[in-house]
Amino acid sequence: MSQLNKLKQSKLAIKTGENASQARKMLFVNLLVYVIISLAELEIGTLDHSVALMADGENNFTGIVSVLSLIVGLTFSKRPSDDYHVEGHWQYENLAVFLAGLTMFIVGLSCLWNGGVKLINLANGRTGSQLNGRAAYMAIVSAVCMLGLSIINEFVSHKLTSASLAASARDFFSDSLTSFGTMLAIAGATFLHIDWVDSAAAILLGGFIIYNGSKILSTSAAKLSNGFSPTIRKQMVKAIQAIPGAGSVTFIDVRYSGNNLVVTAEIELAGETKVVQSYGLCKEIEQLLQRQYPILYCCIQVRPKNSG
């Protein structure tokens, strides 16, 4: 690898590394809020015999697991390349996001299960103990905190282009709705004495959490399995072919490495083009793409025209 290329790569590594460390600070704030809210919910839920608030506390407790997996992912993705991962460790971030999505999916399933079991118990005439209004106030405090953090995480994720924080924002948003639903269910069960509202809310929220978890799973799985938008790939082909001297693009593949892109392409040049000229053209293509996209590196192969 040339000196210039090495320098460019290390610059890019530092830039993305700084973003990752800022994202990590935000994640530690998230972790702290999850710990405080879930402990308070579990404590008040136990004191007031509110199963719904305890379930919401458990849901926020799994948020701790999810944030921890994101912090681990970001820490690993910051590590420089080694003999085993020559390209660097960027994919660890996508892997951590995938695991967080999987956690949400499983929590959603458990909400469906708990709601279903309670509904069956109610149908069989078994009712729980009377609820206390204090549980409803705790749920609304949780809902407001989670909504606030969702907005902050969404804002910071755009600024740092961090997949981890985007996942956190969605996580907080679904937690906010869970807490809000829990508040409604507790209020309904406490003040209106409608017992089944509690379980119905749990089933609805379980479905919502599964839906959100699935979306996170599908975007991270697309990146991990080397999928890439065909529209952006076509735009890249157009940009390359517009360079004077560059022939037609006969093959192009783009994939993610973390949030960075790796481009593999083959271009057709006139058979008498000198090696120095074609090398210069490849560098020109790389620089052009780097101006428009977060390119980690390009790997371009040259093929003489009419070579069959």
Q: Which stretches of the chain bind Zn ion, using CB under 5 A?
A: 82, 84-85
Question: In this chain, which residue has its C-beta nearest to Zn ion?
Answer: 85
Residue 262 phi/psi, 5-degree rounding, is -120, 125
Q: In terms of CB distance, is 88 or 115 closer to Zn ion?
A: 88
Q: How far is the CB of 89 from Zn ion (least distance, A)?
A: 6
CA distance 266 to 209: 43
Q: How far is the CB of 9 from Zn ion (least distance, A)?
A: 16
CA distance 147 to 169: 9
Q: Which two tokens stand for residue 188?
A: 């309904």
Q: How far is the CB of 78 from Zn ion (least distance, A)?
A: 12
Q: How far is the CB of 67 from Zn ion (least distance, A)?
A: 24
Q: In terms of CB distance, is 80 or 271 closer to Zn ion?
A: 80
CA distance 242 to 227: 25
Q: In terms of CB distance, is 80 or 133 closer to Zn ion?
A: 80
Taking the CA atoms of 43, 49, 50 and 55 in sequence, report the sign of the dihedral they define: positive
Q: How far is the CB of 84 from Zn ion (least distance, A)?
A: 4
Beta bridge partners of 297: 262
Q: How far is the CB of 82 from Zn ion (least distance, A)?
A: 4
Are 64 and 38 in contact by the 8 Å Cβ rule? The answer is yes
Q: In terms of CB distance, is 69 or 91 closer to Zn ion?
A: 91
CA distance 308 to 291: 33
Rounded (10°) angle between helices 134-160 and 51-77: 20
Q: In terms of CB distance, is 48 or 93 closer to Zn ion?
A: 93
Q: In terms of CB distance, is 84 or 306 closer to Zn ion?
A: 84
Q: In terms of CB distance, is 30 or 91 closer to Zn ion?
A: 91
Q: How far is the CB of 95 from Zn ion (least distance, A)?
A: 13
CA distances from 62 to 104, 107, 228 (A): 8, 8, 31
Taking the CA atoms of 102, 104, 108 and 113 in sequence, report the sign of the dihedral they define: positive
Q: In terms of CB distance, is 89 or 118 closer to Zn ion?
A: 89
CA distances from 24 to 66, 78, 226 (A): 13, 11, 25
Q: How far is the CB of 79 from Zn ion (least distance, A)?
A: 7
Are 246 and 226 in contact by the 8 Å Cβ rule? The answer is no
